[in-house]
A and B are shown apart, each in its own frame.
Chain A
Amino acid sequence: MAQQFVGERSIKLLNCSRESTAAMKQYFKNLQAAKAAGEPVVWTATWEPQEIFRVMDINIYFMVHYAALSAAKQLSMRYLGNLQEEGFSKDICRYCGQRLGFVLDKNKEDAPWGGPPTPDLEVKSCVDDLQDKILEYKAKALGFPLYLMDRTWPTRVSKGMWHTWDTEDYRLEYAMKQYRQLIAFLENFFHRRLDMEKLKEAVRNTVEMFRLWWEVDQLRKTIPAPITTADHYSNIIPIQFFRGTKQGIEMLTKYRDEVKERVDKGLAAVPNERIRLFWPEIAPWFTPGIFNAFEDKYGAAFVFDQYHYPEWFHQVDPEKPIESLAKLYAAPYAEDYANAPGKVEWTVEHARDYSIDGVVIMWAESCKAFCNSLLLMQRALSKVGIPSIIIKGDIVDIRDWHDQKIKSEIGDFIETLDPSRRPESKRRATEFLEQMGSTLR
């Protein structure tokens, strides 16, 4: 068998970045132990009300993490190959599909970290055409039930949509109804009661976590950047996987403190930072080293990226826990965040606020749920004078990652960038954002 391309790890500057993987590993071990002890285990997605499960002592796991982990362990090709042998098109979504490929694998002895425990139940909202179908195949293969909720779609577009929770009442009501139904179901299924006071506390914890994340995001505006995407992506573990918990707050507090310390001391992630880059798409999980690849040669730092959340997240009211959860997870955010025009707006807005010189947009063909509106983003950026480049790659599949070619293209792109254009692009970006939404019904 040929020697495949092996992805590069990223360079982490912060202690908490290194600790977060260990924390996740421990979490995983605890999960396996919980399963062995007969405790409830549920698979769900990050953008579901994690807090409900936490306060009911239901152990949750996210197969999206497993997809990223398998990719990092260079196992994607094998798992994706399983899907093809089963008869699925080779053009199905690889990021989501890979999890099914793992489930179908005939030899799980080398499963990373010993493999996730089979759950008692999977809970998910229908957010697109394919994820629920994949879940049905998985659930059938492993013999557990599936509980599907639903997410609604906006019926209007307005300016700065992704900035506000403000959505049509009927969407919020539907989301809240579904969450109440979910709670009742879980109470019956797992023979336990949800304590509303505990849920309020969990929501308070989540709110605090988003507030801390927001603080870090403000600190990242500093020039030169105190950290890069390389560190930031290690710290998504708490915000994505430990929401509602005190542990999550501790981890993010450490993160905020370490970043703040660097800012106070004037420490730059890239000492000779000259060029500031933005990576708005999902990362190639098998080779996060790409984020450090241009530091030495070009003084180019990836200073901003995809995991950012609007300020209103930490303004929801924990005293109304179900409403808060509905606002966070089921009302407008996901659709406005991942799709045009919201995506186009935040691309320009962040490019302005983070003093970006160039945007690197990775085009992962098979993932349309997130990887869409790319030409619209490019167009918007060109209107405000911020150069961008689209490179073909993938989130988990190394076959679509031509490392040398990609590095050489990005390198050439960086050489065309000019930091002296920043004030002008900022001005034009502000103008552009004011215009957006002005011609709509």
Chain B
Amino acid sequence: MTVLLPLLLALGAAPVVLVAGVLGARPAAWASIVMAALACGATLWGRWAGGGALDVAWAPSWGLRLTFALDGLAVLYALLATGIGVAVLLYSARYLPLHLEHQGRPARDAIRFYALIVLFMGAMVGLVMAQDLLLIFVFWDLTAIASYYLIGYDRHKAESRAAALMALLVTGISAVLLLIGLLLLQALYGTFALPAIVERATPGPAQTLAAGLIAAGALVKSAQVPAHFWLPRAMAAPTPVSAYLHSAAMVAAGVFLLGRIYPLLRLSPFLLDLLLVVGLLSMIFGSVLALTRDVLKQILAYSTIAQYGYVVVMLSLGTSAGVVGAAFYVIAHALAKSALFLTAGTVTEVTGEDRLSRLGGQWRGLPVLAAASGVAAAGLGALPLTIGFFKDELFFKAALERGWPFAALATLGAALTLAYVWHFWSGIFLGPLRGEAGRPPLPLVAPIVALGLLVAVGGVAVAPAADLAEAAGRVAFADLQPVEPAYHLDARPENLLALATYALAATIIAARPRWFRLAAATARLGERVGPERWYAAGLVRLNRSSRALLALEVRDLRSRIATVLVPTAVLVAIGLWATPTEGAFRVGRITVTDLPTVLGLLLAAVGALVATVPRRPLTLILALSSVGYSLAAVFAFLGAPDVALVAVLIETILTLLFLGVLALFPAELLKDQAVGPAPRPSLRWRNVGVGLGAGAFAFAVGWATLSQPAAQESVAVQHIRLTPAAHAKDVVTAILADFRGLDTMGEITVIAIALLGIAALLGRRERPMASDERRATSDERASGEEKRRREGR
């Protein structure tokens, strides 16, 4: 129950919102807020009640189970997803109508938005509680789907569409790595249940590979270098989406997963070192690029990359302090970052500006906002009296455990963070006034104030957040050493590092003109040769090579047939080459009595060859029919007069039919065919080649088959024996009418269908024209396509 309630509330939110949407956009907004709040409350209650677990069979054939547990890690991330969700949804309830109004879209469009946000929330809650690997993946991709639609919410804008596609391709395709990792673990340990796998796992190359693949998927989701580029692009989404996805949900899912599989990661020091490198790179690159950005949301986007870099670094230090610190860091970051995103949204909404260079001095018009976001910024920058101070305290502590070089890097990262946070906040609110500000509506400020308050409260009463983080850490380290973040007024290394950070940050801020060029040049270099360029170039190249390949497709009927015959000949040749042919091909003895048969076969062969020569249709038909008659003669000689009779009959009908059809053709067409320009020699040779190949494979198959005696007594013997029982005078009648009567009925049906088809073709002119209108649009598109292609050739 403790598990089920939050889960059901979170997953049920999207349908509830859609139902409420029937009444209109406002009820949908309220429904989303209420559902998120309820889910948040239920999670808190579940934690208070001591967590719990749920385990139901899902797909026994694959040993899949619906296993959910509300452990420490799940509580932490579920609270973030639902709690920040409430704040963001409150904000959206006012923001989105304005957003839609600016774009001239109907208010009802908002319903989809609310539904998608709570769908995302539900997917997150499911993800963090799931204990079955495949279940984890299902929710993982569900977040990708929701984010795809949220990022592409303004789908009339090309920028949004491209950003949504990029996010989907990058996170969706990398998720497949995760899937491969999961399936590999299943293959190794025979189960999808994560707790069981953790128990059974032993270090080894396969285990490292599996954990590495999972980690790779997680890192891409957390926008770590070099797969970070989708995140800044995703800022094309409406601001509440950015606030939610890039603080508490989407990006957090990546580090959550690292935490979830931490016991597996820990088995391989190599993997942890790899993570460390990725985390450090993200931290430094993200921070430096954030310092150079001008657009508000871009600063925050690069900041997110950097901040999750910290979390990855902490996790990869491999100590329990690092794991707890990472969990704590996620809480502090989510609160501060969502507040800052929402600040950016409000400022842009009231001033109409989204760039630092056009903003400044806004504290005069927006004092409350300035204060609230100032607290949040201080939290992100790790100043004392905010929850952020402790995140850095834990960070330094964990880094120190690993050695001084890491502490130095941590200090550098923290200083860079403080510097860009200052760059962001002071750029908006301090300095000379730039940008006209209206009065912001209350709902666009209140959530920020609430989040700011949480950041400040966390700076005084740190225990609740610390408890959450510690409980989360216990999932990775059962024998956890408690960490107690607190203020210590002494010269312990953590404090000294904090002071060093402030000093370094002040220097960086003061020396901005000196390093700015260099940083901007780095950013430009990154844009020019960085991974985003690879993505774009890759996509363009893919489309180009696809077009080139499309041009190679054969488009005429003759080639379509040739492309069946030639590969068949090749396959048969390979088959011949691959199997022992000794004794497989036999030539029987030919006696004088066989001469008529041989003669008939020769005639047929000559007829077939002759048929390739004439260009006059009439000659062609006669040559072809001579093949048929020769074969009929062969059957007659082989002692099958009834087959011969049927063959003669069919051949006669066919020849007459062909002649009749010829008579209907316009005379000029036939003449053109007969005396017009000859086909190109290359085409002729190709035709000869294809014909010879087809003949060769048919010959090979026929010979190989006929060289074999039947493996047993043929069923024909029984047919003959049972003919009297079928009350038939001869075996053919018995077979056709009785033994295989079903086949005969089937063949009659085939004739009926063919007649239906002929009737339909003949009735073509009487067809009502209205039918064409239905597909007119797609038809035009296709015919335009056809035309282009013809012109291209």
A and B bind: no
Q: Which residues of A contact B (CB under 8 A)?
A: none
Q: Which residues of B contact A (CB under 8 A)?
A: none
